[in-house]
Amino acid sequence: MYDAYENFISKPFYYTQAKVLIAYEKTKNARSYTVLKLKSEDGLTFYTTTHRRENFNHKRLRLQLFPSDEIGFKDYLGTFYVKSKIKDQETLPLVFKDKLLHHVSSQHESKALGSFYNAIFFATPLEKSLREKIALLGVSHLVALSGFHLGILWGLVYGLLYFLYRPLQQKFFPFRQALFDVGLVSMILLGFYVWFVGFPPSLLRSYTMVFVGWGVLLLGMELLSFTFLTSIMLTLVTLFPSLLVSLSFWLSVAGVFYIFLLLQYTKHYNKWFISLWVIPFGIFILMLPVVHVILGMTSVYQLLSPLLSILFVPFYPLVMGLHLVGMGSVLDAPLLGLFSLPEVSEEKFLPLWTMLTYVAVSIGAIWYKRVFYILLVSSMLYVFYLFIPIE
């Protein structure tokens, strides 16, 4: 991988074919230009700019890139900016996914809501203005496909298949194990879905965890362990080195870590209480210090995040069904009202050393209950600092 990086930046120019993922206009110093996010045929994801004013949707471009040593190895593994010149372009034919995207977006008068639903169904990019509103509500994790969505989909797919399988099993093959048969079909269907939406890093991590977790359950081994999480994390970064610089991947890992931590110290509580209150509110509180090292945008409406996370569980399958029957606009009015709530925000960042200390305390909380309570209290104090104004 590093050899490929050195070979890339050592060239004065580099030709490639790349598909346009995102295209939007930007203005700077009274001059307008188009920003393009592209994925090349050799797997590179990068930004570039052009002064051409045209529709780049569904386009594949032949580009002459001009690499420089300002592109670091970390950037090369993730997403970087590179100067370029467009040599040629071709319009890509519409595929089945494009038809699905159009089917969803055409059910909404608001372009922003079409963008929202395509993001939560198919991992497509959000409109910039809507992305900022969603960040102010503290629900970016509900829009970026992750383990939360995959967990809901697993429950739906496995539950429906089990409902159909159980009568047949009892009548014709009672010797079969439902967890294996239904689980295998569910994993195949979910694997196809992960492939179909383009292997988003957080969703890839989640699918791997679900797949291995299913195997662990079949073997009768312990599932909710930090060893299990570490093993999955190391396996994925070994197989896909680009995940090392994927922000969504590491935030996803952090989220699962804190879920395991909460479950470790609250497992004696009622399961419904844990699912409806401990996990949503606990994750919101414990993740805030981590998030605010990277994303400083702060709004009092972010306090709605735990409640919206709870409501998203029935909302997600409901809107899937509504879009399937062409009634996707039913909830447009309340959603537009929700997205219009945040108007102002502040930038409040935590220094990196604070997060490193917080992470060290979090790891210590695995073994010591007292350290867990210190972690919880410190994160709750941070909530008051962020959202409670002091006159």
Residue entry with tokens 């159909």:
164
| DSSP code, position 56 | -
Q: How far apart are the first and last CA of the chain?
A: 54
68 vs 29, which has greater pLDDT?
68
DSSP assignment of 160-186? HHHHHHHHHHHHH-TTS-HHHHHHHHH
- Structural domain contains residue 281: no
The pLDDT confidence band at residue 38, using thresholds 50, 70 and 90, is: confident
Which pLDDT score is estimated for 223?
63
65 vs 69, which has greater pLDDT?
65
- Structural domain contains residue 56: yes
DSSP assignment of 19-34? EEEEEEEEEETTEEEE
- Using the Cα atoms of residue 54, residue 58, residue 64 and residue 70 in order, give the sign of their dihedral: positive
Nearest-angstrom CA–CA distance, 279 and 261: 10
Per residue in 155-182, pLDDT (tens digit) is 899 999 999 998 888 888 888 888 889 9
97 vs 248, which has greater pLDDT?
97
- Structural domain contains residue 133: no
**Residue 285 β-bridge partners:** none
User: From the CB of residue 23, how many other CB atoms can be counted at a distance below 10 Å?
Assistant: 16
Indicate if the pLDDT at residue 372 is higher than 70: yes
Average pLDDT for 290-301? 84
The domain that holds 76 is classified in CATH as 2.40.50
Residue entry with tokens 């594949």:
60
Average pLDDT for 22-32? 79
- Structural domain contains residue 10: yes
Nearest-angstrom CA–CA distance, 74 and 247: 12
Q: Tell me which amino acid residue 137 is.
A: L
Residue entry with tokens 């945008």:
297
Q: Which domain holds residue 56?
A: 2-91
- Structural domain contains residue 63: yes
Residue entry with tokens 């969803």:
104
Furthest-apart CA atoms within the chain: distance in Å: 74
Indicate if the pLDDT at residue 110 is higher than 50: yes
225 vs 371, which has greater pLDDT?
371
At 53, list the tokens: 């004013």
| pTM, two decimal places | 0.81
Per residue in 243-292, pLDDT (tens digit) is 887 787 888 889 889 999 999 998 888 888 888 788 889 999 999 999 88
Per residue in 329-345, pLDDT (tens digit) is 999 999 999 888 877 77
**Residue 33 β-bridge partners:** 26
Angle between helices 128-136 and 332-339 (to 10 degrees): 70
The pLDDT confidence band at residue 224, using thresholds 50, 70 and 90, is: low
3-state SS assignment for residue 7: helix
Residues with Cβ < 8 Å from 368, sequence gap 6 or more? none
- Structural domain contains residue 76: yes
Q: CB of 369 within 8 A of CB of 265?
A: yes
Which pLDDT score is estimated for 390?
47
- Structural domain contains residue 292: no
Q: How far is CA 76 from CA 56, 196, 247, 250, 366, in A?
A: 24, 25, 14, 18, 34
Indicate if the pLDDT at residue 391 is higher than 60: no
**How much of the chain exceeds pLDDT 70, in percent?**
97
Residues with Cβ < 8 Å from 383, sequence gap 6 or more? 285, 288
DSSP assignment of 247-315? HHHHHHHHHHHHHHHHHHHHTTS-HHHIIIIIHHHHHHHHHHHHHHHH--EE-GGGGGHHHHHHHHHHH
User: How many domains does the chain fold into?
Assistant: 1
- Structural domain contains residue 102: no
Indicate if the pLDDT at residue 389 is higher than 70: no
Per-chain mean pLDDT for the chain: 86
Nearest-angstrom CA–CA distance, 116 and 105: 9
